[in-house]
């Protein structure tokens, strides 16, 4: 399965609150709260406005968490879209192709693209979101042998792939997510993949991980940035932009 095939339950409306989910058991919630603190805290997550990152397959995107604006690029395509209004424009080499079949196809995929690609970047901040059924599965060990608290995640009719299930392994020493496993269906006995969640670095007020390697296959999210401002015109640019720092 390709990296982009794993969706999630990222919701724009609850993207900044860190609000506890009534469906989560207390021990799972406590572990999730520890993760939030280790990665910078709920206030830092809420107050960070822009997130930018490269995703597998040559995609680069900038998300304005405050307005819902989403700037997305791949190859010769650029899209400027709003996740609240579901309106936007698509450009190829600077030419507006929004009304064409190809442009319409891109516009129709931008919300699912944001949900999927964002989940690969910020999933640890979403553990306590409404609609997430979070359970504590006990103690375990990561692929690297580190002691971990194991969380199970299923979803209550949120996101574009609510039938997914995840296992999230939180390092008991650091409080950081070290690993995740993705199950396309909640009833699946074996995951489609199990990947590291590592190579943490400070970006603005947040601690974010770039490493997403499988046991024998390196993979990484590149050009991660968290910022309060971006250069003027970036979110409406019709051409690929200089990646923000």
Sign of CA dihedral 95, 98, 104, 108: positive
Q: pLDDT value at position 157? A: 65
Listed range (4-8, 51-55, 71-75) with the worst mean pLDDT: 4-8
Q: pLDDT value at position 16? A: 36
The string of pLDDT tens digits covering residues 100-148 is 999 999 999 999 999 999 999 999 999 999 889 999 999 999 999 999 9
Sign of CA dihedral 229, 119, 24, 14: positive
The string of pLDDT tens digits covering residues 184-243 is 998 999 999 999 999 999 999 999 999 999 988 999 999 999 999 999 999 999 999 999
For residues 148-172, give the mean pLDDT.
86
pTM of the model: 0.90
- Tokens 């699912």 belong to 112
Sign of CA dihedral 126, 128, 134, 135: positive
Q: pLDDT value at position 115? A: 94
For 21-236, CATH number?
Answer: 2.50.20
Q: pLDDT value at position 158? A: 61
Q: pLDDT value at position 4? A: 44
Q: pLDDT value at position 163? A: 80
- Return d(Cα 34, Cα 89) in angstroms, integer: 40
- Return d(Cα 95, Cα 161) in angstroms, integer: 33
């Amino acid at each position: 399965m390709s990296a982009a095939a794993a969706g999630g339950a990222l919701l724009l409306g609850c993207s900044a609150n860190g609000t506890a989910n009534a469906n989560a058991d207390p021990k799972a919630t406590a572990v999730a709260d520890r993760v939030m603190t280790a990665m910078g805290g709920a206030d830092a997550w809420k107050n960070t406005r822009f997130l930018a990152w490269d995703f597998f397959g040559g995609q680069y995107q900038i998300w304005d968490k405050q307005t819902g604006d989403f700037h997305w690029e791949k190859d010769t395509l650029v899209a400027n879209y709003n996740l609240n209004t579901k309106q936007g424009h698509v450009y190829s080499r600077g030419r507006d192709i929004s009304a064409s079949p190809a442009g319409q196809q891109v516009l129709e995929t931008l919300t699912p693209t944001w949900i999927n690609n964002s989940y690969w970047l910020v999933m640890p901040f979403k553990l306590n979101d409404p609609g997430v059924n979070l359970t504590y599965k006990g103690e375990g060990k990561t692929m690297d042998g580190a002691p971990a608290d194991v969380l199970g995640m299923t979803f209550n009719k949120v996101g574009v792939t609510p039938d997914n299930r995840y296992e999230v392994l939180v390092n008991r020493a650091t409080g950081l997510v070290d690993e995740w496993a993705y199950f396309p269906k909640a009833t699946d006995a074996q995951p489609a993949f199990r990947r590291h969640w590592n190579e943490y670095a400070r970006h603005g007020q947040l601690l974010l991980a770039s490493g997403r390697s499988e046991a024998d296959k390196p993979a990484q999210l590149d050009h991660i940035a968290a910022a309060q401002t971006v250069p003027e015109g970036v979110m409406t640019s019709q051409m690929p932009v200089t990646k923000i720092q």
